[in-house]
Amino acid sequence: MDEKVSGKREHEGSLDNGRSYKKRKSSEMKDDSEIQYDETWSRLIYTIGKDALKKLQESKILLIGMRGLGIEIAKNLVLMGVSSLTIQDFGNVELSDLSSQFFVTEESIGMNRAESSIEKLRELNDRVNIQISKERLDDNSIKNYTVVCTTEFNSQSELIQLNELCRNNNVAFIAANTPGLFSFVFCDFGESHTVLDTTGEPPKTAYVESITKDKHSLVTVTDNERHDLEDGDVVMFTEVEGMTELNGNSFKVEVKGPYDFSIGDTSNFSDYIKGGFIQQIKQPKTFHFDPIKKYFPSVPDFDKFLIADYGKIDRVPTYHAFIQAYLQFKEKNAQFKPWSKEEADTMLNFAKELKYQDLNEELFKKLAYTASGNLSPMAAFIGGLVAQEVIKATSSEYVPINQWFYFDSLECLKDELSEDETKPINSRYDGQIAVFGLSFNKLVQDSKYFLVGSGAIGCEILKNWAMMGLGCGPNGHIDISDMDSIEIK
């Protein structure tokens, strides 16, 4: 920015790692804790709380894979302010990566993905120590990390070995991938992972209207407020007049209705007179995770699977069969061909060997047809989801994915396409063309969109639109309107 226009020129300094930054004047400096908790992180504190943020800022994350999904996860972790982020990718940038990897350009092709991304990541948050690892993990190096997250793997055996290494060293493990219009996330936070607060919400409170004196006492709260408790919740009583045995003591709840619950036998207590106040006492909950090898190739317990749309619950066996067939095919083939019926049949034969019931062959083939695709919106969605799981792993708050999450967007497909329509054209949009075809890609580029707001959500939308090439054609354009100013928080 020109000095006359800006009104001031901030002095340039340097950090120990060689990055440049802008020095603030002494009059602008504030106490570190004030900056950390009251300005930059204020909105994150509202969401996850100070305790979770503090633990997150002490965490050390290893992220393997710097394609589209990996860079989305990295971006989110850096913005959230983890203590350190180590990125690792032994591969080089390919043209197909440009469909979703927003920190590399055509000039980056042939260069290492991690090395091509690190400086842009550092610009997002100079408080995070970001570095590159070029060494394979072992029992010694893995102890440097709190969480290991991988988006780059070529076989089931590779996933199993990395998961076992993490599990043996009490390091949380997350694996994720987004082939085409399909995605999965797997979490293993160890044999015993205790969550101190499963919801992150304030404890529920209510005023007491009446309490019966019997073996199955009934507590009724005032009519104008529901208690919102669940079976098994624990509440503490205070300020009860008459039945003073309740005051200062905790009781497990059995819900009877929106305004009533039982606390067990009160027949030997004093008579209730009036008043009283209840407050929920948050109870820790322990989750037990299994290693990923338990799910390959045996028929798993599908209670351990979560999907975004429960209207698709019957697809879970097909999802799980597909990811195994996908990894088996990937191990034997360097690349997938878009909409290849031959490759889809090969993967389907792999899946049939698993002998899962309820295998939906038509659904399976659609997943296989689009598996070579590389879509920015899919990476953005799963990247945000994985970053949330990192918060859960490090903070001991919120219920984690236990243990699989599957998601598909196959409803985006209108018609079955041909290999010729979806073959690569040596374009940065080849990852999108592989799923939707060349005609759709041209339609996207000639689209005209208007976006109101380019803040946290708006800029994510703009980033995805840009990666998709929306409005980039000769007849397309994007208009943006936002009357707000940039703030530190």
- The pLDDT tens digits of the residues spanning 65-98 come to 999 999 999 999 999 889 999 999 999 999 999 9
Question: pLDDT-derived band of residue 404, with 50, 70 and 90 as boundaries?
Answer: very high
- Those residues whose C-beta lies under 8 Å from the C-beta of residue 52, and which sit 6 or more positions away, are 200, 391, 395, 397
* Mean pLDDT of all residues in 116-138: 95
Same domain, 47 and 173: yes
User: What is the SS3 assignment for 237?
Assistant: strand
d(CA 214, CA 380): 56
Residue 310 confidence (pLDDT): 86
Same-domain pairing of 49 and 193: yes
Do both 52 and 139 map to the same domain? yes
Domain end, chosen from 281, 309, 344, is at: 281
pLDDT of amino acid 19: 35
Which residue, of 262, 281, 300, is where some domain finishes? Answer: 281
Reported as a pLDDT band with limits 50, 70 and 90, residue 5 is very low
Amino acid at 123: E
91 shares its domain with 36: yes
The CATH number assigned to the domain holding 250 equals 2.40.30.180
Question: Does residue 172 sit in the same domain as residue 247?
Answer: no
- At 485 the pLDDT is 85
Determine the average pLDDT of the residues in 22-40: 43
Please give the share of the chain, as a percent, with pLDDT higher than 70.
90
Averaged pLDDT, 195-204? 88
Same domain, 165 and 313: yes
414, 489: one domain: no
Q: Which domain holds residue 457?
A: 446-489
Three-state SS for 103? coil
**pLDDT of 243-291, one tens digit each?**
999 999 999 999 999 999 999 999 999 999 999 999 999 999 999 999 9
Rounded-to-integer distance, Cα 330 and Cα 308, Å? 26
| Cα 99 to Cα 425: distance, rounded to the nearest angstrom | 13
Percentage of the chain modeled with pLDDT above 90: 76
190 in the same domain as 98: yes
Q: What is the mean pLDDT of residues 284-310?
A: 87
If asked whether residues 113 and 144 sit together in one domain, one would say yes
Residues 6+ apart with CB under 8 A from 404: 184, 185, 186, 295, 304, 305, 306, 320
The band of 39, judged by pLDDT with boundaries at 50, 70 and 90, is low
DSSP 173-207: EEEEE--TTEEEEEEE--S-EEESBSS-SPPPEEE
One domain, residues 209 and 195: no
Q: State the Cα–Cα distance between residues 306 and 404, nearest whole angstrom.
A: 6
Q: Does the residue 19 lie in any domain?
A: no
The mean per-residue pLDDT over the stretch 236-242 comes to: 96
CA distance 25 to 156: 54
- Cβ pair 202, 423 in contact under 8 A: no
Could you give the count of Cα atoms lying within 13 Å of 487 in the half-sphere of its Cβ? 11
448-473 tens-digit pLDDT:
999 999 888 999 999 999 999 999 99
- Listed residues 227, 258, 281: the one ending a domain: 281
Residues 27, 19: contact at Cβ < 8 Å? no
**Average pLDDT for 112-116:** 97
How many domains, the chain?
Answer: 3
User: Within this chain, do residues 218 and 69 fall inside the same structural domain, yes or no?
Assistant: no
Residue type at 382?
A: I
**Residue 261 confidence (pLDDT):** 96
Half-sphere exposure of 423 (CA within 13 A, CB side): 4
Q: Both 474 and 454 in a single domain? A: yes
